Structure 1
Amino acid sequence: MDRETWHAVRPGLLTMRRLVLLCSLLPPAAAAAVLPPLLGGAVWSVLLLPVLGVAGWGWWALGRNWRSWRYRERDDDLLIQRGVLWRQLTVVPYGRMQLVEVTSGPLERWFGLARLQLHTAAAATDAAIPGLSPDEAERLRDRLTELGEARSAGL
């Protein structure tokens, strides 16, 4: 594997997050569609505009956020970059890792995704990489655990 390359998260993460967005906006959209005929006027149809605005903005924002997630393995640490307006670069030294776990909830499993969670000695530096394939998450877990044990042995 080329350690100089940034790796993106899977497209399934974007699809899953957009599905959650649409499902959360379904009840207000249904109410905005049903209320105007009940209230007796087409002017009440403007109730649907904020819901459509939030859906459009959320769709766009989720796409930008998804594109910002990336990670890179280096010789001594793992870099995790994310964020659009507030960009964040997390550097996790292999020797500081205490626990590396792979989690996958029901919705993530349905989309073939897993999340890698890294716990370090300092709680503020805990990091996660969502949207990995289960095979990649397990490979990273095994590699990071091995490197963490090797780096911390010298302390």
Structure 2
Amino acid sequence: MTNPPPPSSGPDTPTTGETGRADAAASDPNEDDVLARGTFTHLAEPRGAARLAPDDGSWHQISPKYVWVQVISTGAFLAGVVVGMLVLALALHQTWAFIPGGILSVILVWTLAITPRQARSIGYRLRRDDLVFRRGILWQRLVAVPYGRMQLVDITHGPLDRGFGIAQLKFVTAAAATGVTIPGLAQETAEHLRDVLIEVAESRRTGL
């Protein structure tokens, strides 16, 4: 009597690769190619020995279109401040408006000047057990979010973001301090990263 053949590993049979997506996301070259499409190619870092230097590994960056969105929105706000200041000072003879208006205008001009470098400082890395996010030149932030702690992965984008085809990805965890928002991701990249992180987070919570 012939023994029955062993069960095949067809498309309906789960494989170890399906439960090891975290390792694949952290090391798969094809995954890196998807996340690196249309992004900056150089991660900007603060100068000085006391900076929070990124560790070795594959750091992904955001789309240069994020700079244009920030420049347009900040520039529009700056134009409104200047117009309001001139109306108060010249038309209504409220010369005190030059003081707050001038200070705010200088701050906004400085913000516009450093926006490109600030955008190039934003990066994230998919490691085996967590996602590491970094941003900032003057004020740095470096945070690691364990996959198993992610409770919600949310994609949002405003009118300007939609016009330039970008979005921001937000991770919500049990601790508010570890929440992370990655801005300036291409729409396709944001959706792909959301699906990967949801799958990995679910597998870590269930202990697969």
TM-score by length of structure 1 reads 0.82
Question: What is the alpha-carbon distance in structure 1 between the residues aligned to residue 169 and residue 143 of structure 2?
Answer: 14
Stretches of structure 2 lacking an aligned partner (at least 5 in a row): 1-27, 33-56
> Is 1:84 aligned to 2:131, yes or no?
no
* Bigger Cα Rg: 2
1:43-102 CA-partner distances (Å, limit 9, x unpaired)? x9xx69767644531222222221211111111111110111221111011111111111
Task: Look up the match of 2:5.
Answer: none
Q: Distance in 1 between matches of 2:91 and 2:181?
A: 47
Residues 81 and 105 of structure 2 are in contact (CA less than 8 Å); yes or no, is this contact kept in structure 1? no
Identity of aligned residues (%): 41
Secondary structure of the 2:172 match is strand
List aligned pairs for 1:31-50, cutoff 5 A. Answer: none
Partner of 1:111: 164
Counterpart check, 1:64 vs 2:117: yes
Number of residue-to-residue matches in the alignment: 150
| Cα gap change, 1:75 to 1:34, in 2 (>3 Å) | same
Looking at secondary structure, tell me which structure has more helix per residue.
1
**Structure 1 counterpart of 2:180:** 127
SS at match of 1:102: strand
> How far off is 1:7 after superposition?
1.0
Residue segments in structure 1 that go unaligned for 5+ positions in a row: none
Q: Which moved more, 1:30-39 or 1:130-139?
A: 30-39
Please report the TM-score for the alignment, with normalisation by the length of structure 2.
0.62
SS of the residue 2:81 aligns to: helix
Report the aligned-residue RMSD: 2.6
Alignment partner of 1:72: what SS? strand
Q: Report if aligned partners of 1:29, 1:51 keep a CA contact under 8 Å in 2.
A: no
